[in-house]
Amino acid sequence: MLLTIERVIILKSVNIFSEVPEEDLVEVASIVEEVEAKAGEDIILKGDIGTSMYILVTGKARVHDDGKELAVLSERTVFGELAALDPEPRSANITAMEDCHLFKLEEGPLYDLMAEHVEVVRGIIRVLCRRMRSMLRQQMKKK
């Protein structure tokens, strides 16, 4: 288990929280749950109803669907934020490629955090916009 200051330093390095003042990140650090995933273990299963987002603190994970690898996630990557904002079935599987240490943030505390800290809302919007642009670029390449 990490110390609060260690959690704050990690959170500050993640794009969603990079503009949130450190004193506010202490609150975020207190509500994230630390979880471990062993190499080969599923973190997210396609079709499951998700209500949490994750931050990959250490390790690597792969995003895959129907045997096709869609992406490799590395340290400080945020994933699952769509389900945390709007609980719907997960769109892909995410499996640990090596032992992973993660922060997990549930929907309720995330919404409370967003209500109090506009910087978090901005960070989430930025991440979603980047992801959407990336998907659009991939679609354009297929044409």
- Name the domain count of the chain: 1
Q: Which domain covers residue 17, as residue numbers?
A: 4-142
User: For 39, phi and psi rounded to 5 degrees?
Assistant: -50, 130
Residue 121: give its domain's CATH number. Answer: 2.60.120.10
pLDDT of residue 11: 95
For range 4-8, the mean pLDDT: 95
Helix axes 107-116, 118-142, angle to 10 degrees: 110
- Highest mean pLDDT, choosing among 2-11, 82-91, 104-113, 123-132: 2-11
Q: pTM for the whole thing?
A: 0.85
Q: Bridge-partner residues for 95, per DSSP?
A: 42, 62
For residue range 32-54, what is the model confidence (pLDDT) as tens digits? 999 999 999 999 999 999 899 99
How far apart, in whole angstroms, are the C-alpha atoms of residue 134 and residue 143? 15
Are 58 and 101 in contact, with CB atoms under 8 Å apart? yes
